Structure formats: C-alpha cells, structure tokens
Amino acid sequence: MKIFRKTCLFILAFLLPVCYWQGAAQKTDFQSTAINYGESISYDIYFKWGLIMPRAGDALFSFNKDNSVSQASSRYEMSFKTAKFFDSFFKMRDTLACYYADDKKIMYSRKGSDEGGYYSVDELTFNYENDKTSIHSLRYTPSRVRIDTVLTIESGDVTDLLGALFYLRNIDYSKLRGGETYPITVAIGRDLVKVQFVYQHQAIVEHGKAKYNTLYFKMNIYDDAFESTSASAEVWVGNDENFLPVKVRSKLKIGYAEIYYKESSNLAHPLKCRIETK
C-alpha cells in the first residue's frame, strides 16, 4: 500500500501547473500566460488491473492569490479523494498546496494526508542564496517527527512535488522537436527525484465522447515506485495556449494508473484543443 499511495500522489503531482522555480544555472524570467487566477480544473483517476479499470478517485485543482505565507503572493492547491470503491480498503483524503512569490520562486509547500484516520503532514521550505537552493523537508504525524532534513541543490531546475508539469507549460512550444529532453528535479521527503520529459509527437486523445489535440511526452522517473525508469509515465498536454494536461498514464508495479481531464472553469484561454464532435 505504501507504493500505491506514493505512486498515486506522484502521478497526480505532475498534473499541477505552478510552483516552479527555474534553477540558478538556467535562470529565466517567468513568462507563462497559461495560468489564470481563479482557474479550477478537475480530473478523474483510474487504476487498471487486467481487464478491470475502476475509477479510483477525483482530483480538483485551484489557483488563487494568497499572501498568508511570508514572501508569497499566490497559492496553487490540489485536493484528492478516493472513490467509494477504494474507500472500503484504502481511503485517502489528501490536500497539497504550494505558495510562491511574485517572481514565481516557490517559497513553501504543504501536503496533508489523511488515510482513514492516519494523518501526516509534509512541509518544504525553500531558501535561496547565490547559486544554491536549500530545502528544509519536514514530515510529521500527531505523535512524532518522521523526517527533518535539508536538501541542497547546487544548480538546475528544481520544484516541489506539485509543480513539475509547469516545466512543460512554460517551455517554448514553437521550438519543440521530437526527441528533445527536458530534465527537472523534484523534492520529496528525503529524496531528490530526477525526472526527464521527452517530447514525442502530436496525438489525438479520446476519452468517452471527447477528443483532444495534444502534445505527447514520455517521462523518465528515477524512483522505485515505477515498473521501469524509461517511459515511467506518459503525458498528453492540450495543444492550445492553456497547455493543461489532458491525460496522464503510468505503468506501475501493481497495474496502470490513468488520469483524464474532466472539466474546468476560468481558464486563461479558450479550450481550443478540444475537438467538437456531433
């Protein structure tokens, strides 16, 4: 069950489009126009074992102004809950939120997990000095501190668990070529997990009666929750100015996880990637 939970949260995290810090070695200004205050996006999550593919849960994302954390001005939040089928043997109610400054440096993130009565909190506090980033990682339950350590990044692109996909939403799509690789590091607990996005080609995604024009990426994730490092997951990003995830799929040690876009409101741009069908 530990791998199940870790994998579920890890895959969900790559749906999130903010909380990204461009590392000192490749520092650039924040220029994305894909995100809009008041944006809300929901997803359906499925897990597949053989021919069985039950709906595992729901995820809701929201982006708003928030100055409750020192030096921060905005908050991106995800809430996740398992469906009734999964509640009977593995109930999850998780909330993840990250806070970032006007220049879009991530300052702090928090993940609260409720697993049927077992409650834990993960906090990451980011500090920047010259070309180095230090991340204070703290995990605790009501009865004890489980992790209290500092992770250090000398250079490169780094984010918390919430913000990896913003790396994709912020690249220059006009220069995208098949086979191009985009690396990033994700801070999780005691670990700095290396991730690579590899662009493949354009693709059509179908789910139910809906169809979408997308940009298809493979993800290499260097973590033991996944069946293999190469192409640990796949991401289909809507091919319009919002660049929001339409589908995420991963082969796990216990089957497959698939996540599908459901609905949204207050997007920055019209959802032109959706193909209208009669």
Query: What pLDDT score does 274 carry?
Result: 95
pLDDT at position 211 is 95
Residue 153 confidence (pLDDT): 83
Comparing CA positions, the residue from 232, 148, 157 lying closest to residue 189 is 148
Residue 22 is predicted with a pLDDT of 38
Distance CA 18, CA 73 (A): 13
In angstroms, the CA 5 to CA 1 distance is 6
Per-residue confidence (pLDDT) for residue 156, from 0 to 100 = 59
> What are the backbone angles phi and psi of residue 130, rounded to the nearest 5°?
55, -125
Predicted confidence at residue 12, as pLDDT, reads 55
Predicted local distance difference test score (pLDDT) of residue 256: 79
Model confidence at 19, pLDDT cuts 50, 70, 90, reads very low
| Residue range 70-75: mean pLDDT, rounded | 90
Q: Which domain holds residue 33?
A: 2-275
Average pLDDT over residues 220-245: 76
Predicted local confidence at residue 51, as pLDDT: 75
The pLDDT score that the predictor gives to residue 186 is: 82
pLDDT higher for 145 or 48?
A: 145
pTM for the model = 0.82
* % residues pLDDT > 90 (the chain): 28
Maximum mean pLDDT: which of 15-29, 93-107, 259-273: 259-273
Maximum Cα–Cα distance across the chain: 57
Mean pLDDT throughout 57-71?
90
The mean pLDDT value for 150-161 works out to 74
DSSP class per residue in the chain:
-HHHHHHHHHHHHTT----EE--GGG-------S--TT-EEEEEEEEEBTTB--EEEEEEEEEEE---STT--EEEEEEEEE-HHHHTT---EEEEEEEE-TT--EEEEEEEEEETTEEEEEEEEEEEETTEEEEEEEEE-SS-EEEEEEEEE-SS-EE-TT-TTHHHHTS-GGG--TT-EEEEEEEETTEEEEEEEEEEEEEEEEETTEEEEEEEEEEEE-STTBS-STT-EEEEEESSTT--EEEEEEEETTEEEEEEEEEEES-SS--TTEEP--
Residues 20-58: pLDDT tens digits? 333 333 333 344 567 788 999 999 988 877 777 788 889
Total of domains in the chain = 1
pLDDT, residue 27, reads 36
Q: How far apart are CA 130 and CA 126, in angstroms?
A: 13
CA-CA distance, 19 to 162, in Å (whole number)? 7
